[in-house]
Amino acid sequence: MNYKQDFIKFMCDSGVLTFGDFVTKSGRNTPYFINTGNYNTGEQINKLGYFYAKCMEENNIEADVLFGPAYKGIPLCVTVASALYKDYNKNLNYCFNRKEEKDHGEGGVMVGHKLKDGEKVCIIEDVITAGTAIRESLPILKNCADVDISSVIISVDRMEKGKNEKSAIQEVYEEFGIKVYPIVTINDIIESIQNDIIDGKKYLQKMIDYRETYGIK
């Protein structure tokens, strides 16, 4: 298996990628669901960092700092920083935000590396539905320093239309000039079912139909 197929199987084995009948926040009936909150062991979070780091290396993504939006992005940015150091000898800084500003001690909303003007920041996220977390992260980062927010890494690109004919990833790029890199896409998941990398043949046609109805071209 290549690392993308390995990642899809890893999500299934971890109970993160499941198949069935679900309803998204937008009210769409979907045959699959991704819940990254189901990662809950040291082995899983360690392996997850490897996949994000591999995606960064494969796409030649350069960064000085990894930023994890609270809350799910916090363990993600930590494990990715660790994996980049362990697997690629890259010692990147990392930081994350608090949901509420601290009013004692050192104060502020940020934890970890103190951002500096000109630094390249890569945002580490789980999935993007409407791009809300990214839009919330930008002013937080820019209020700290004049940083260059150059990229976002996510686990899965659902490749779905948003309010118009474009996906959230396309909208983020057009609005902010920030490129989003997924480890895998919904097309990769469909191919993994077709090639018996993972179970899911029962929902294969529903997956294809959903992609045809809501997917970007």
The pLDDT tens digits for 22-69 are: 988 778 899 999 999 999 999 999 999 999 999 999 999 999 999 999
* Sequence-ordered alpha helix ranges (H) in 39-156: 42-58, 73-88, 132-144
Span 164-178, mean pLDDT? 88
Strands 93-102 and 65-68, sheet pairing: parallel
Span 147-157, mean pLDDT? 95
Residue 72 has pLDDT above 80, yes or no: yes
pLDDT at res. 132:
77
Alpha-carbon dihedral of residues 111, 125, 117, 90, nearest 10 degrees? Answer: 90
Instruction: Tell me phi and psi for residue 23, to 5 degrees.
Output: -125, 125
Residue numbers annotated as active site? 102, 104
Span 115-135, mean pLDDT? 89
pLDDT at res. 128:
81
User: Does the 3-214 domain belong in CATH 3.40.50.1110?
Assistant: no
Can you give the pTM of this predicted structure?
Answer: 0.92
Span 133-161, mean pLDDT? 92
Helix, strand, or coil here: 115? coil
Determine contact, residues 88/53, Cβ cutoff 8 Å: yes
Pair of tokens at residue 78: 């930590």
